[in-house]
Structure 1
Amino acid sequence: MCEAKTPPPPGTLVVDTGRGGRVAEFRGVAGPYWALRDVRGGVEWEAEPGAVRGADPMERLRAEIARRNARSAEGLL
C-alpha cells in the first residue's frame, strides 16, 4: 500500500498525470480523491492523489497565461 499524500493548499497549481499532464488548480479533497479544476475554468473533476504532482515553473507560467487569456476573452480583465 502506498503512503497517503498530503493535499496542497487550495489554489495550488498541480498536474494530473492521469489526464495526460493536464495542469489544474487544486480545489479540495473529495473522499479519497482530490478535486481539481482547469485553470481556465470549467467543471471540476476528481483525481487519484497518487496521479497528481506539483506543477513545475514552466507549467505554472503556461497555466497563468492560459488563465489570463481566458479571462481576457470573457472581458474580465
Structure 2
Amino acid sequence: MTEDADGIPSVGATVHDTARDRVGRVMGHIGPYVQLRPLAGGIEWDADPNHLRPLTPAELLSARVAEANARSRQQR
C-alpha cells in the first residue's frame, strides 16, 4: 500500500477498514477522512485513516476474486 507523508493511503489503494470490517478502494480524501468504495462498486463511505490497514497478499487476492465474481454475475 502506498501512502502519503501523513501515512494516509494513496488513491487507488485497496485497504481493510477495521472499524467496519470492510474492504474498499481509496477514492479520495476529504478533511480527516478517507473515502472508500467497495471493490465491486457501490456507495462510498468515510473511514478514519487510523482504522485502515493494508491487505495481506492473500486478502488482496481473495478480494479481487470476489470482485471478479461479482462482475461476472452482473453481466448475465
TM-score range, shorter chain: 0.7 to 0.9
Q: Percent identity?
A: 43
Q: Could you tell me which residue of structure 1 aligns to residue 72 of structure 2?
A: 72
Number of equivalenced pairs: 72
Cα displacement (A) at 1:6 = 2.5
Q: Could you tell me which residue of structure 2 aligns to residue 30 of structure 1?
A: 30
Q: Could you tell me which residue of structure 2 aligns to residue 62 of structure 1?
A: 62
Q: Could you tell me which residue of structure 2 aligns to residue 15 of structure 1?
A: 16
Gaps of 5+ in 2: none
Cα displacement (A) at 1:41 = 1.0
Root mean square deviation, CA, Å: 1.7
**Normalised TM-score (structure 2):** 0.84
**Normalised TM-score (structure 1):** 0.83
- Give every structure 1 segment of 4 or more consecutive aligned residues whose post-TM-superposition deviation is greater than 6 Å: none
Gaps of 5+ in 1: none
